[in-house]
């Protein structure tokens, strides 16, 4: 197995938390995060403030690397290979080519095979997941609507990918070739996924996770880990919320344990109804 996918495997059954400064990174580590995502503004703030969202200041990312012992991830704009080169030069552990930032290339994603650093990319469906894997992504995540605290889109993507995998499993010969054309990937990759019945890299949930119950829910739908963006530091009590989401991710199928960790946490992030977001401001449609 590829070393980049190897690290993705080590992150399984864990929580990756968005952090905007050293103090938040330390809280995330104390709560038991398996990794932190360093970015200047969490998605909820990017949404509110508007403007072009870019890679964070490398100095801010380096400060977070020095502050914690767990892996540090950071985001680049879709297709922005120079931002990715800068993050690799920092020695970042994982790069998220993310639709939450403003896309930089109208035609292509980064050719991730040219990097030693592993990449995670979002996908709404199986074809998108396979295109990203074919470009070298070591890890796939859903493209749930970031910064909304609303789980419905992540759920949609998990369900669609699961169903499409199921459908692909029974296919052979010419039908696999048709699928390869539809997905715009080599038939070898489609054949491999059809044979295994699963993607060759882990699949995590991201976008809209706001409570321990949300984390347990997406885990039960098949997500191997959970990214939490605005859900922690936009809640009333970030540390208890973060700890509870970590406990719920590991004990996702234990209702008694979920009850215990969900009690008395205070208010979750406020959240947004998806239909209130104009279509051009929805992130999931970004990417090719």
**Residue 63 touches other proteins, criterion: CB under 8 A:** no
Residue by residue, DSSP assigns the chain as --HHHHHHHHTTT-EEEEESSHHHHHHHHHHT-SEEEE-SS-HHHHHHH-S---PPPHHHHHHHHHH-SS-EEEEEETT-HHHHHHHHHHT-SEEEEETTSPPS-SS----GGG-SS-EEEEESSHHHHHHHHHTT-SEEEE---TTS--THHHHHHHHHHHHHHHHHHT--HHHHHHHHHHHTS-HHHHHHHHHHSS-SS-EEB-SS--SHHHHHHHHHTT-SSEEESHHHHTSSSHHHHHHHHHHHHHTTT-HHHHHHHHTT--PPP----GGGS-GGG-STT---
Q: Does 10 bind other proteins (CB under 8 A)?
A: yes
- In angstroms, give the least distance from the CB of 13 to other proteins: 5
198 is catalytic: no
Closest-CA residue to 64 (of 119, 19, 118): 19
Binding test (CB under 8 A) with other proteins, winner from 3, 152, 239, 259? 3
Sign of CA dihedral 69, 62, 36, 161: negative
* Beta carbon nearer to other proteins, 36 or 185: 36
Count of residues near other proteins by CB under 8 A: 38
Among 71, 136, 144, 229, binds other proteins (CB under 8 A): 71
Beta carbon of residue 162, minimum distance to other proteins (angstroms, whole number)? 17
Cβ burial, residue 63 (10 Å; 0-12/13-18/19+): middle
Any contact of residue 214 with other proteins (CB under 8 A)?
A: no
User: Exactly one of 48, 75, 169, 195 is catalytic; which is it?
Assistant: 75
Interactions with other proteins, residue window 34-53 (CB under 8 A): 34-35
Q: Is 70 in the site for other proteins (CB under 8 A)?
A: yes
Binding residues for other proteins restricted to 110-139, rule: CB under 8 A: 116-118
User: Candidates 4-12, 106-114, 157-165, 264-272 — which segment interacts with other proteins by CB under 8 A?
Assistant: 4-12
Q: Is 166 in the site for other proteins (CB under 8 A)?
A: no
94 binds other proteins (CB under 8 A): yes
* 13 is a contact residue toward other proteins (CB under 8 A): yes
Of 17, 25, 31, 101, the residue at the interface with other proteins (CB under 8 A) is 31
Shorter beta-carbon distance to other proteins: residue 118 or 147? 118
Q: Which of 33, 84, 101, 124 binds other proteins (CB under 8 A)?
A: 33
Instruction: Give contact residues for other proteins (rule: CB under 8 A).
Output: 1, 3-7, 9-14, 29, 31-35, 65, 69-72, 88, 91-94, 116-118, 243, 246-247, 250-251, 257, 261
Report, as residue numbers or ranges, the catalytic residues: 75
């Amino acid at each position: 197995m590829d070393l980049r996918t190897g690290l993705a495997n080590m992150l399984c059954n864990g929580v990756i938390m968005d952090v905007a400064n050293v103090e938040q990174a330390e809280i995330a580590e104390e709560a038991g995060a398996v990794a932190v995502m360093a970015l200047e503004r969490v998605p909820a703030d990017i949404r509110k403030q508007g403007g072009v969202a870019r890679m964070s200041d490398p100095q801010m990312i380096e400060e977070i690397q020095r502050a914690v012992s767990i892996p540090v991830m950071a985001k680049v704009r879709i297709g922005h290979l120079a931002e990715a080169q800068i993050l690799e030069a920092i020695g970042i552990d994982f790069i998220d080519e993310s639709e939450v930032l403003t896309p930089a290339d109208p035609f292509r994603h980064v050719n991730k095979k040219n990097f030693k650093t592993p990449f995670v990319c979002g996908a709404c469906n199986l074809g998108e997941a396979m295109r990203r894997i074919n470009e070298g992504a070591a890890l796939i995540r859903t493209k749930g609507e970031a910064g909304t605290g609303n789980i419905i889109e992540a759920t949609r993507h998990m369900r669609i990918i699961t169903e499409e995998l199921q459908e692909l499993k029974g296919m052979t010969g010419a039908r696999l070739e048709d699928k390869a054309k539809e997905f715009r990937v080599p038939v070898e990759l489609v054949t491999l996924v059809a044979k295994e019945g699963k993607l060759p890299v882990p699949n995590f949930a991201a976008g809209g996770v706001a409570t321990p119950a949300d984390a347990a829910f997406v885990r039960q739908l098949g997500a191997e880990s959970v990214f939490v963006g605005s859900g922690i530091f936009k809640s009333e009590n970030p540390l208890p919320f973060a700890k509870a989401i970590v406990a719920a991710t590991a004990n996702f199928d234990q209702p008694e344990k979920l009850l215990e960790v969900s009690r008395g946490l205070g208010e979750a992030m406020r959240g947004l109804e998806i239909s209130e977001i104009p279509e051009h401001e929805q992130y999931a449609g970004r990417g090719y």
